[in-house]
Amino acid sequence: MQKHIMVVDDSPTIRSSVAFCLRNAGYEVDEAKDGQDALERLDVLKEAGTPLALILTDINMPRMDGLTFIGKVKATAFRYLPILVLTTEGEQGMIDRGKVAGASGWLIKPFHPEQLLWAIRKLIYTK
């Protein structure tokens, strides 16, 4: 069965390119445009019984930012899910704040597809 990965980013460009890369690598991708949207999608997945393998989330987003979102995920049944934060260069402090919030790893934008997959391989079992 294909593994589900949720991509949370307010930029459609980032979502599209990340999703493109993940689908190419054989993953099923769920997209959410901010933390709020992502939480709602998590509820839908939970209802449908779809297992999720990983969340990729941006930090700086409208409505609900990434750090708040991670904190909320940690209070749900998805709390042991690996979460990869997407940050931009020059945001060293963000990585630390992400780790405190409960992120499992990070990825600096912009990244190459192989960098994305390399980071994912550290967090989930791949075929």
Q: x/- string (CB under 8 A) for another protein, residues 39-68?
A: ---------------------x-x------
Q: How far apart are CA 66 and CA 109, in angstroms?
A: 15
Stretch that binds another protein, among 27-35, 39-47, 101-109 (CB under 8 A): 101-109
Best CA proximity match to 18, nearest among 116, 105, 95, 89: 116
Smallest gap, in angstroms, from Cβ of residue 59 to another protein? 10
Phi-psi region of 119 (alpha: psi -120 to 50; beta: other; left: phi over 0): alpha
Q: Give the one residue of 49, 77, 89, 127 binding another protein; rule: CB under 8 A.
A: 89
Q: Which residues bind another protein (CB under 8 A)?
A: 10-14, 16-17, 20, 60, 62, 74, 79-83, 86-92, 95, 99, 102-112, 114-115, 117-119, 121-125
